[in-house]
């Protein structure tokens, strides 16, 4: 258990913010698998300030997701402050997070995301200005630096702390690395040693054992899991259990995986309507099906599905075939 400001996080496992993934439908599903904290996908400060309807829809939170951190991104102090104020007053998020890690040129070219990492003074300035006008705790998610020559993770985290930020999450890669190479946990450890606010470590936690190793090697307060949770929300449950009891519970059966996938699909339909949800769910379905025998052959068909019933029928077919195969294997033994 740890605290971010006055928000109690009941265990040390955090779902990473992921654009195009971490909407209410996925977050709630992950929450039900026991995440201590879930993070929402990044939302544009300008979209909020200019009342863009699509952006405002992204601020929807189901009470059952709480505690939840809502992340905003932007490259200018003025609009970030305005957007933070809006999130503070008009959403039921518990925490306001500032994105200082996004490596995509479209974002960094506007001085947003990882571009902040080049100047601890600017970080201090913007975080202090936001902290000043909101009541919810403010946090920053950052990468360790821009490139090998500009790794200011410690200075940047200290700037967040001095400015009144209540936690930092550190992804152990530079902006230039994008998602390549290995996350540098040693720098995450240096950050943890340099600040008194909670530090959440992130990058390359692929198994419950990785989570334990990160906690032990870096001393961080929490571990943030991103890609390993895609189509795999039970990764969170397995990690929570492993950290608490040392027990490594088995992966779910194909049928259980498909059941969770269908629950996720129905929640996405409730959130966005069938047409958009089914399209968005195609990529998730491919992730849920990873490792299930016989799934590869329906991948193309999934990408052509347009309705809930078509998609559900394909998924259930895979589950049934996998079950029949497992029964045949058991009989043969
Ligand atoms: C599809 C995808 C979308 C992402 N979107 C965001 C985002 O909106 N905000 C953010 O701070 N990080 C974002 N990230 C980065 C993750 O939060 C995380 O830092 C990164 O994936 C490393 O953690 P992992 O090794 O556990 O995946 C995204 C990553 C992925 C794969």
List, for residues 99-157, the tens digit of each pLDDT value: 999 999 999 999 999 999 999 999 999 999 999 999 999 999 999 999 999 999 999 99
More confident residue, 150 or 328: 150
| Ligand 1 contact via 16 beta carbon (within 6 Å) | yes
Atom 5 of ligand 1: nearest residue by CA position: 18
| Ligand 1 contact via 228 beta carbon (within 6 Å) | yes
| Ligand 1 contact via 229 beta carbon (within 6 Å) | no
Instruction: Please identify every residue annotated as catalytic.
Output: 102
Atom 10 of ligand 1: nearest residue by CA position: 17
Question: Whole-model pTM?
Answer: 0.97
* 2-4/7-9 β-pairing: antiparallel
Atom 21 of ligand 1: nearest residue by CA position: 226
Give per-residue pLDDT as tens, 243-268: 999 999 999 999 999 999 999 999 99
Contacts of 56 (CB under 8 A, 6+ apart): 47, 48
Mean pLDDT estimate for the chain:
97
| Ligand 1 contact via 225 beta carbon (within 6 Å) | yes
């Amino acid at each position: 258990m740890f605290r971010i400001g006055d928000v109690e996080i009941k265990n040390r496992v955090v779902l990473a913010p992921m654009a195009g993934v971490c909407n209410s439908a996925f977050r709630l599903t992950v929450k039900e698998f026991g995440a201590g904290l879930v993070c929402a996908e990044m939302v544009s400060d300008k979209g909020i300030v200019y009342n863009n309807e699509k952006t405002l829809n992204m601020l929807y939170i189901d009470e059952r997701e709480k505690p939840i951190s809502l992340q905003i991104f932007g490259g200018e102090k003025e609009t970030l402050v305005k957007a933070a104020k809006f999130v503070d007053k008009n959403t039921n998020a518990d925490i306001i997070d500032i994105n200082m890690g996004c490596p995509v040129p479209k974002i960094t070219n506007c001085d947003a995301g990882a571009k902040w990492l080049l100047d601890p003074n600017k970080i201090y300035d913007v975080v202090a200005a936001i902290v000043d006008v909101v009541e919810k705790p403010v946090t920053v998610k950052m990468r360790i630096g821009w490139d090998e020559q500009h790794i200011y993770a410690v200075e940047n985290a200290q700037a967040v702390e001095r400015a009144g930020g209540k936690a930092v999450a550190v992804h152990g890669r530079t902006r230039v690395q994008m998602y390549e190479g290995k996350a540098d946990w040693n720098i995450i450890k240096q950050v943890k040693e340099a600040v008194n606010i909670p530090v959440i470590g992130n990058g390359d936690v692929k198994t419950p054992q990785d989570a334990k190793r990160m906690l032990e090697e870096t001393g961080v307060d929490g571990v943030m899991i991103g890609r390993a949770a895609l189509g795999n929300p039970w990764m969170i449950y397995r990690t929570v259990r492993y950290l608490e009891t040392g027990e490594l519970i088995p992966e779910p059966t194909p049928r259980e995986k498909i059941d969770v996938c269908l629950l996720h699909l129905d929640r996405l339909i409730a959130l966005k309507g069938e047409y958009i949800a089914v399209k968005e769910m195609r990529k998730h379905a491919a992730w849920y099906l990873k490792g299930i025998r016989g799934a590869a052959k329906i991948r193309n068909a999934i990408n052509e599905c347009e309705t809930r019933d078509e998609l559900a029928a394909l998924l259930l077919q895979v589950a049934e075939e996998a079950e029949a195969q497992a029964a045949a294997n058991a009989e043969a033994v």
